[in-house]
Amino acid sequence: MDLQAVLTEKVKEAVLQAYDASLPGVEFQPTRKDFEGDITVVVFPMLRVVKGNPIEIGNRIGGFLKEQLSEVKDFNVVKGFLNLVISDGYYLDFFNSIKEKAPFGYQTPASKDAVMVEYSSPNTNKPLHLGHIRNNLLGYAVAEILKAAGHKVYKTQIVNDRGIHICKSMLAWQRFGDGETPESSGLKGDHLVGKYYVAFDKAYKAEIVDLVDKGMDKAKAEKEAPILMEAQAMLRQWEAGDAETVALWETMNGWVYDGFNITYENLGVDFDKLYYESNTYLLGKDVVEECLEKGVFFKKEDGSVWIDLTEEGLDEKIVLRADGTAVYMTQDIGTAIQRVTDFPDIGGMVYTVGNEQDYHFKVLFLILKRLGYAWAEKLYHLSYGMVDLPTGKMKSREGTVVDADDLIQNMEDTAADISKELGKLEGYDETAKQDLYRTIGLGALKYYILKVDPKKRILFNPEESVDFQGNTGPFIQYTYARIQSILRKANITEDEKTEVFDTTMSLHEKEKVLLKEMQGFPQVVLHAAEQHSPALIANYVYDLVKEFNSFYQQVSILGESDAAKKRFRIHLSKKVGLIIKSAFKLLGITVPPRM
């Protein structure tokens, strides 16, 4: 039962009877902790349609609700706030409704529009780094949250596998590689290719210095350095379909894909469909030319094609160069249309891309709306801030980025060190220990990044993230493990597993507070989906865990002498564990049975 919906109708009925007035809506908020009550009706907004003293109005509505609804046990009015005390029976009814087999808080699968979520979308000239980790974790979590909210979801990425960046790595490998391969070097394929991207930059800078020493202007030297011009020539050869160039490109990209797949598997993310820029970079040109005739685009004297977005507060945007070649915007227009062709049930798309591309996506979405696509109304740019480190910004050309694989390993090592210090690993064999370190390390990494609002910049501190106290992944995982320990000691029988509890039973205040927190989970999932914010889930589960730990410290569970109360508290603990597990699953985080 949606208590708020029932209360809304009854409050409206009370006002109609007492004041012959119709309320357009009713405002609720949680009751402040210093007053008795569970949910508060805010009286002040009613004064627009009801004339009178807010305290008197609150008392009349409260009396009506107490008389009409068994769920309303009592009420009190503080100024313009009507605080309602909800019966224990209502919360016990809710508790009995939580079933183990149907994930509590999730909506009916695929009951809403299909959504495509794009994330990762790396370049194939270097390994994934810390920035990619935030991108992947956000995109994956948002996809899982949208699924839980009832959407059918397709996870995708577009791999940036063409352009001057990959030619730089290819050329450096030809010059300096001496036939090196992932097998011969022992390096992951993406690391090997990234090594030659850095080598190119080093050689390029040396050539610039040499040219400047010989008297050339620096700006000219940067454009005419021989190695850069050779890389540009290689790109032209690739575009012309030169067999040898294409073969090298396929080989080195293959190394990178093998490396990426290992990182994705370690990170726990996946995709339903991959798009490659080498296949999509010509998409969109036909659409532009077709819509040019319809007046959506216009042509300038030099032959370039543009769209005028000044009415929307933006400017003119080029979509085809004078020589007829496409720009990134053209490609993105074509790729969006191709995706709906491939998956006709798509009702919207989410693009997980850093906030430096905010303007690009504003323009893209406006253009697609101008082209008349209904699904363009449901496009969303999941814009996120950069990830900084205590040591400063990352620079991939210079090889000073925080490598994703190294970071994952570092998190695992840090978790191992802390776990060993705590000394709670008795009975674990070496394999079990390594699995636990990985679970804690990845949980720490994912939670630390996802608990922050996507739009905010993050200062990532690996050591801080693996703390077993405070708002961290390991703290929440530890609470889940504590619950599993309680359940093992309780040794619940098969009959007790499906027990339905008497709704006339009285609740301890800590039990009631915990039940109220649990009850909020389904709404948090919906809000997180609407706002594309995993942070809402992360911070909800932290609040739930804090309430459970307060309950655990102040209320006896296994030591309770009343058998019915003891069984209820065991089941209450179990269902809190189910919600923790469900919430963390949406964030891509595993919870361990023991810690």
Residue 530 and residue 434 in one domain:
yes
Residue 528 and residue 409 in one domain:
yes
Question: Which letter does DSSP use for residue 593 in this model?
Answer: S
What band does 220 get if pLDDT is binned at 50, 70 and 90?
very high
Residue 431 and residue 579 in one domain:
yes
What band does 392 get if pLDDT is binned at 50, 70 and 90?
low
Residue 208 and residue 76 in one domain:
no
pLDDT of 122 over the 90 cut: yes
**The two three-digit tokens of residue 483, written as one number:** 């619950």
What band does 1 get if pLDDT is binned at 50, 70 and 90?
low
How far apart CA 450 and CA 542 sit, in angstroms, is 12
Per-residue pLDDT of 364-386, as tens digits, reads 999 999 999 999 999 999 999 98
494 within domain boundaries: yes
Number of structural domains (the chain) is 3
Instruction: State the burial class of residue 576 (Cβ atoms within 10 Å of its Cβ: 0-12, 13-18, 19+).
Output: buried
304 within domain boundaries: no
506 within domain boundaries: yes
Which pLDDT score is estimated for 184?
A: 97
99 within domain boundaries: no
Query: Could you tell me the residue range of the domain that residue 475 belongs to?
Result: 404-586
Residue 61 and residue 187 in one domain:
no
115 within domain boundaries: no
Lowest mean pLDDT among 15-29, 100-114, 226-240: 100-114
Question: Which residue in 383, 387, 385 sits closest to 351, CA to CA?
Answer: 383
Residue ending a domain, choose from 27, 58, 86: 86
Residue ending a domain, choose from 86, 119, 149: 86
- On average, the pLDDT of the chain sits at 93
Distance of CA 193 to CAs 127, 158, 230, 242, Å?
Answer: 8, 19, 18, 21
Residue 528 and residue 417 in one domain:
yes
Residue 168 and residue 256 in one domain:
yes
Which pLDDT score is estimated for 389?
A: 73
- CATH number of the domain to which 504 belongs: 1.10.730.10
pLDDT of 358 over the 50 cut: yes
Residue 79 and residue 181 in one domain:
no
Residue 431 and residue 536 in one domain:
yes
Report CA torsion sign: 289, 293, 294, 299: positive
Per-residue pLDDT of 528-569, as tens digits, reads 999 999 999 999 999 999 999 999 999 999 999 999 999 999
Q: Are 557 and 570 in contact (CB under 8 A)?
A: yes
What band does 400 get if pLDDT is binned at 50, 70 and 90?
low
The stretch 326-336 carries a mean pLDDT of 93
293 within domain boundaries: no
Instruction: State the burial class of residue 26 (Cβ atoms within 10 Å of its Cβ: 0-12, 13-18, 19+).
Output: buried
285 within domain boundaries: no
Residue 465 and residue 569 in one domain:
yes
Over pLDDT 90: what percentage of the chain?
A: 85
pTM: 0.92
Residue ending a domain, choose from 270, 302, 320: 270
Question: Which letter does DSSP use for residue 36 in this model?
Answer: S
137 within domain boundaries: no
How far apart CA 54 and CA 50 sit, in angstroms, is 9
- CATH number of the domain to which 60 belongs: 3.30.1360.70
Question: Which letter does DSSP use for residue 303 in this model?
Answer: S
Q: Which residues contact residue 210 at a Cβ distance below 8 angstroms, ignoring those fewer than 6 apart?
A: none
Residue 428 and residue 561 in one domain:
yes
pLDDT of 47 over the 90 cut: yes
